[in-house]
Structure 1
Amino acid sequence: MDYPIKLTIDPTVALEANIQVKEQLKWLIGIGHISPGELLPSTNVLAAQLGLNRNTINWVYHHLQEEGIVSMHKGRGTLVLDNPQTDELRRSRMLMHELLERTIEEVRLKSINAEAFFTASLAYGLMQISEQTTARKLLFVECKEHDHPFYSNEIRRVTGAEVKTIFLEDIESSDTILTDALEFSAMVVTTLNHHDQVKRLLTGKEVKLCVIGAQVETSTFLEIARLVEGSPVTFVCLGKAGGQWMAKRVHEAGLHSIKPYAVGIHDHAQLLACLENSERTYASAAVYSKVRELAPDKVRRFPMLLEKSSETLLIDFSQPTK
């Protein structure tokens, strides 16, 4: 980005500086002032502009990356992604923007002090949250090879809860990770892929378990169906198991004419070989930007959707106990 972005840090506001920066960046992306494909300022530049420590901006960028909104590339910068997470941010922030613009106009017409109004609004919101007798916190258990950012973002979107993700690989290597994580929440969400494994891990523990699944947009199946019979097609995810899940969804849709290959993003040599030899490559949202850089003409996003039944389950599951 060649021009400075306009952010404000107010030490009198009851939000830490890192949260102020992160939320303002999400607003700028959400209402289109920063577009997908643009680079955010370097951590040094933004820290100097705002008079903050570089580590504070690093924290902001890492959290935006965890939310799936940006990708960080050492030596190249922080890129705003063009993916479902950014689309959802833009959709939600545009709705908020319209509502806030109307509210601000009403405040002005009624000659209400804007700062006092929004301070009071924050207090009122905190009162509403305090009426819930159960904290909205969910623990998400998944493996590192599937597109876990997709699931965690969907859980957060549907429930509005704070979501903590722990990985099965880490649980298996430590006797305390699961126990410690259950102190965060005794309400656990996992995917169909790992239902039995997680259920065994939770045996004897007083927890609630919700199992969710994802589906694939029909348009992707139609694209694949139009490929020449025998076409080699590669499916890329965070790990090979995730790519295999993607290929399995295609097979279950009745598409048996392609030659599917599955690969994880970190198996660089195999990934390059698959990109070279495949007619088409489909990448999950978590790895799409990186894979597309390698072969922009061949790579398509593999668009996943949370199943409607899973949305309903999550909504019911996360309701506070009265």
Structure 2
Amino acid sequence: MEHSRLPFKTDPQSPLPINVQIKEQIKWLISKDFLKADDALPSTNELAEQLSINRNTIQWIYSQLKEEGLLIMQKGRGTRIATEDRIKEFKQQNPYFSFVEKTVKDAFEQGFNIENVMLSGFAYTQLFGAKHEKRKRYLFIECKTMACRFYLDEIQRRSSADIQTIDISSPDEELFQAIQKADVVVTVNEMTEVVKKKAGSSELKMISVSSSQDVTLLFDMLLQ
């Protein structure tokens, strides 16, 4: 289905940037099946004109959603919603939409200001949310070099993450199960392709390390 105009509502006074507002609204349109698999979205120029904002803002939104696997951008076909399988996976991985919808309706019925409720929830998460977060699971594969041990030790020191190590020579089934349970997989550069083949998943969050102790890379790991 072609969608030349989408029912976006933006608020320049909101603490959320316009690009984030639109990006999250697209996710809601997908979750509510207003936008379905293979639906065509307006071009960046069309949507920018509709919303009276810069074309680069729309380009950023589309690119971000493409990175998240929700959009497909192809020359000659424009920008479209991803496949049915990917949208189904997105809904399964993000079941909170129905919870948010119910929470908003309950807050509205009780006369609360919805934006205040959401902002208060965000502030609460910043202050206290870390206590309730699930511990991230890091899997270090073939981490025998000094550089790799540096990252392992630093993550252990700087976070409460659940850290496991395994050798690439482990039985395939054992290695596969360990990878599937991990949130982030870390290995040395020369093992990257081998690990990808063992994992058999394009969604694998994997970080490759070299012989240097890169502080920027360490921060990237901690922020995964």
TM-score normalised by structure 1 residue count: 0.44
Residue 72 of structure 2 aligns to a residue whose secondary structure is strand
In 1: Cα distance, 2:102 partner to 2:167 partner: 38
Determine the structure 2 residue equivalent to 1:96: 96
Tell me which residue corresponds to 1:144.
none
Name 1:310's counterpart in structure 2: 179
Return closer, same or farther for 1:115/1:4 CA change in 2, 3 Å cut-off: same
Residue 113 of structure 1: how far off its partner (Å): 2.2
Alignment map for 1:172-183 (pairs within 5 Å): none
Which amino acid in 1 is paired with 2:7?
K
Q: Confirm or deny: 8 A CA contact 1:67 1:85 kept in the other structure.
A: no
Secondary structure of 1:9's aligned partner: coil
Give the residue type in structure 1 aligned to 2:102.
Answer: R
Shift of residue 188 of structure 1?
A: 7.6
**Structure 2 partner of 1:78:** 79
Q: How does 1:161-172 map to 2 (within 5 A)?
A: none
The more displaced of 77-86 and 21-30 is 77-86
Q: Secondary structure at the match of 1:116?
A: helix
Task: List runs of 5+ in structure 1 lacking aligned partners.
Answer: 137-158, 162-186, 190-194, 214-251, 253-306
Q: Distance in 1 between matches of 2:78 and 2:23?
A: 17
Q: What is the aligned partner in structure 1 of residue 31 from structure 2?
A: 30
Other structure's SS at 2:183 match = helix
Q: Following TM superposition, by how much is the alpha carbon of 1:105 offset from its aligned partner in structure 2, in angstroms? A: 2.9
Partner of 2:22: 21
Letter of the 2:179 partner, please give it: S
Distance 2:88 2:3 in 1: 24
**SS of residue in 1 equivalent to 2:83:** coil
Q: Which residue of 2 aligns with 1:204?
A: 146
Task: Provide the rounded CA distance (Å) in 2 between the counterparts of 1:113 and 1:72.
Answer: 38
**Deviation, structure 1 residue 61:** 1.0
Q: Is the 8 A contact 2:3 2:40 kept in 1?
A: no
Tell me which amino acid in the other structure corresponds to 1:78. Answer: T
Q: Give the distance between the partners of 2:64 and 2:51, measured in 1 at CA.
A: 18
Cα distance in 2, alignment partners of residues 24 and 3 from structure 1: 16
* Contact 1:30–1:91 (8 Å) recurs in 2: no
CA distance in 1, matches of 2:30, 2:167: 29
Q: Point out the structure with the larger strand share.
A: 1
Residue aligned with 1:99, SS:
helix
Cα distance in structure 1, aligned partners of 2:167 and 2:124: 34
- The structure-2 alpha-carbon separation of the partners of 1:41 and 1:128, relative to structure 1 and needing over 3 Å to count, comes to farther
Partner of 2:119: 119
- What percentage of residue pairs aligned between the two structures are identical? 28
Alignment gaps of 5+ in structure 2: 153-163, 187-221
**Equivalent residue number for residue 190 of structure 2:** none
> Does the CA-based 8 Å contact 2:19-2:61 persist in structure 1?
yes
Distance 1:2 1:111, change over 3 A: closer
- Report the TM-score, using the length of structure 2 for normalisation: 0.60
State the alpha-carbon separation in 1 of the partners of residues 112 and 37 from structure 2. 37
What is the Cα deviation at residue 131 of structure 1? 5.3
SS at match of 1:71: strand
Map of 1:108 onto structure 2: 108
Question: What secondary structure sits across from 2:146 in the alignment?
Answer: coil
Cross-structure match for 1:246: none
Could you give the per-residue CA deviations for residues 29-74 of structure 1, whole angstroms, max 9, x where no partner exists?
Answer: 1221100011111100111111111111111111111111111112
Amino acid at match of 1:204: M
- Give the total of aligned pairs: 167
Read off the aligned partner of 1:53 and give its amino acid letter.
N
Structure 1 or 2: more helix by fraction: 2
Q: 1: distance between equivalents of 2:91 and 2:103?
A: 20
Q: Mean Cα displacement is larger for which, 30-39 or 100-109?
A: 100-109
